[in-house]
Amino acid sequence: MYYEKLKELFGGQRPAVRSFNQIMQSLSSDEQQEAIRLVYRVALAEWGDCNAAYRLFLIRFLEEDLQRFLDHLRRESCWGELLIPLEDAEWLMLLFFALAEPKKTRKLTRRVLAFSLLLFTGHRDWKISTLLQYRKTRPVTTAELAELMRWVKVGG
């Protein structure tokens, strides 16, 4: 249902973020918000129905603004109620970034790790860009890793 509406929005064009952004320019503000919601609905509810071109578009669209997608999940779905409350999530953040080595692959980047961390924790005041800036300007120190080892149990 939503997938067909998204196909209609593209009007037979090959789905691409650039094409979508051009289409958005001709829409009113309310229509733009509805088009973005449509993309999210297809990505979340009808992924299995999409062909390869639309799946690639959905991935690239979501990657273009992960913060907007994260905010949508928290605001427009039950996900905001399912977040894991962590008393000291900063140590989890350190663990994520300590384990993350810069890679050129799309699947494991610091940006994706920051998104994942924020997706599963209840820290609404943290933003992806803030975590990335924190990581760039303040690498994990040996002392922090030693402290982290006290919090993390390895093995049985």
The pLDDT tens digits for 87-128 are: 555 656 666 666 655 555 555 566 776 776 676 665 566 677
How would residue 78 be classed by pLDDT, with cut points 50, 70 and 90? confident
How would residue 156 be classed by pLDDT, with cut points 50, 70 and 90? very low
Nearest to 59 by CA among 80, 79, 74, 44: 44
Check residue 17 and give its pLDDT. 97
Check residue 35 and give its pLDDT. 97
Check residue 151 and give its pLDDT. 54
Alpha-carbon distance 135 to 118, whole Å? Answer: 14
How would residue 81 be classed by pLDDT, with cut points 50, 70 and 90? confident
Alpha-carbon distance 55 to 37, whole Å? Answer: 16
Burial of 138 (0-12, 13-18, 19+ CB in 10 A): exposed
- Where is mean pLDDT largest: 27-41, 66-80, 84-98, 138-152? 27-41
Is the pLDDT at 72 greater than 50? The verdict is yes
How would residue 46 be classed by pLDDT, with cut points 50, 70 and 90? very high
Check residue 91 and give its pLDDT. 59
Check residue 75 and give its pLDDT. 87
Q: How much is the pTM?
A: 0.67
